[in-house]
Amino acid sequence: MQIRVLGSGAGGGFPQWNCSCPNCKSVRAGAIKATTRNQSSIAVSSDGEHWVLFNASPDVRAQLEGFPEIHPKNKVRGTGIEAIVIIDSQIDHVTGLLILREGDPLDVYCTEMVKQDLTTGFPIFNILSHFCGINEHSIPLNGDAFTIPNIDDLEFTALALKSKAPPYSPHRNDPHEGDNVGMIIRQISTGKTTFYAPGLGVIEPHVEKAMSAADCVLVDGTFWTDDELACVGRPLLARKIGHIPQSGKGGMIEVLDGFDKPRKVLIHINNTNPILNEESEERAILGQHGIEVSFDNMSIEI
């Protein structure tokens, strides 16, 4: 199984265009050892030719242009992307669909709740019907695995996660199963699995089971502390907006320390997170716990 990290940052990327927090200010000035980041997305393949795109961030054009494996081959137009899996209807994960409007109809896999959001509160599917069109495929939430045509040797199983729908969702304050999912990606021939969840607010028993059994976990690395945003003037707490911080009791470090098997990689890293500074104490702590920090264009082979 081949995984390409197309974007490793949270919403807004790093540096964020309108932010002068210590990280953004320092990386612009070249004052810290840090790498800029696009907004989070990955691509997965079993053969290096046919790929599934997970989420379509606003940075998708640049991400795909920097990914030669999916460029058109022997014809004027084409792509190695066979399908797009959308794990939630957040604006950071779906706006890029509009950038992909020039080609054939997009094969998009999502839950019924995500489909509802993207045809009502944020009607991207409706808009795209006037351009390339959408072939929408429903993701099951009953534990059944599904496959994707032309993606040989991989199967996918969605796990419902506790989360809030986006602000524009008709059921923003009425959570439904399927508002957000994690994904078990399994290579059929080897049995090896990756668990992917860039947004994790609660480690429920079924999520813990999937993470402990995986060969690689690629999970929420948004914030270091619960009050990280509050410390830069935004009165929001990480857990309140659906992200488990890395540090502190019950944090992601403590969670990942409980697993012996998987390779542990963080993705969806907010511009305020001190782990972006590769020489920071926080980054060193992650290393001591065997936890990696993903970066744009990172390749993972399982």
Query: SS in 3 state form for the chain?
Result: CEEEEEECECCCCECCCCCCCHHHHHHHHCCCCCCCECECEEEEECCCCCEEEECCCCCHHHHHHCCHHHCCCCCCCCCCEEEEECCECCHHHHHHHHHHCCCCCEEEEECHHHHHHCCCCCCHHHHHCCCCCEEEEECCCCCCCECCCCCCCEEEEEEECCCCCCCCCCCCCCCCCCCEEEEEEEECCCCCEEEEECCCCCCCHHHHHHHHHCCEEEEECCCCCCCCCHHHCCCCCCHHHCCCCCCCCCCHHHHHHCCCCCEEEEECECCCCHHHCCCCHHHHHHHHCCEEECCCCCEEEC
Q: What is the CATH number of the domain that holds 172?
A: 3.60.15.10
End-to-end Cα, the chain, rounded Å: 5
Q: Does residue 198 have a pLDDT over 90? A: yes
Radius of gyration over alpha carbons of the chain, in Å? 18
Mean pLDDT, to the nearest integer, of 256-262?
97
Instruction: Identify the bridge partners of residue 265 per DSSP, sorted by sequence position.
Output: 218, 292
Q: Does residue 285 have a pLDDT over 90? A: yes
Q: pLDDT band at 92, cuts 50/70/90? A: very high
Predicted local distance difference test score (pLDDT) of residue 250: 95
Predicted local distance difference test score (pLDDT) of residue 284: 98
Q: Global pTM?
A: 0.96
Predicted local distance difference test score (pLDDT) of residue 103: 87
**CA–CA separation, 260 and 20 (whole Å):** 38
Predicted local distance difference test score (pLDDT) of residue 241: 86
Q: 255 vs 163, 168, 198, CA distance in Å?
A: 18, 31, 15
Predicted local distance difference test score (pLDDT) of residue 76: 83
Q: pLDDT band at 94, cuts 50/70/90? A: very high
How many structural domains compose the chain? Answer: 1
Q: pLDDT band at 113, cuts 50/70/90? A: very high
Structural domain including 181 reads: 2-299
pLDDT, tens digit, for every residue of 154-190?
999 999 999 878 999 998 888 899 999 999 999 999 9
Q: pLDDT band at 231, cuts 50/70/90? A: confident
pLDDT, tens digit, for every residue of 72-82?
987 888 899 99
Q: Does residue 234 have a pLDDT over 90? A: no
Predicted local distance difference test score (pLDDT) of residue 41: 98
Mean pLDDT, to the nearest integer, of 135-144?
97
Q: Does residue 70 have a pLDDT over 90? A: yes
**CA–CA separation, 56 and 86 (whole Å):** 8
Count of alpha carbons within 13 angstroms of residue 98, beta-carbon side: 13
Mean pLDDT, to the nearest integer, of 221-235?
90
Quote the percentage of the chain above a pLDDT of 70: 100
Q: Does residue 236 have a pLDDT over 90? A: no
Predicted local distance difference test score (pLDDT) of residue 126: 97
Q: Does residue 230 have a pLDDT over 90? A: no
Q: Does residue 255 have a pLDDT over 90? A: yes
Among residues 33, 72, 65, 66, the alpha carbon closest in space to that of 49 is found at 72
Lowest-pLDDT range, 40-49, 129-138, 162-171, 181-190? 162-171
Q: How confident is the prediction for the chain on average, in pLDDT? A: 96
**CA–CA separation, 31 and 24 (whole Å):** 10
Mean pLDDT, to the nearest integer, of 2-28?
97
Distance from the Cα of residue 275 to its chain's centroid: 18
Quote the percentage of the chain above a pLDDT of 90: 89
Q: Does residue 237 have a pLDDT over 90? A: no
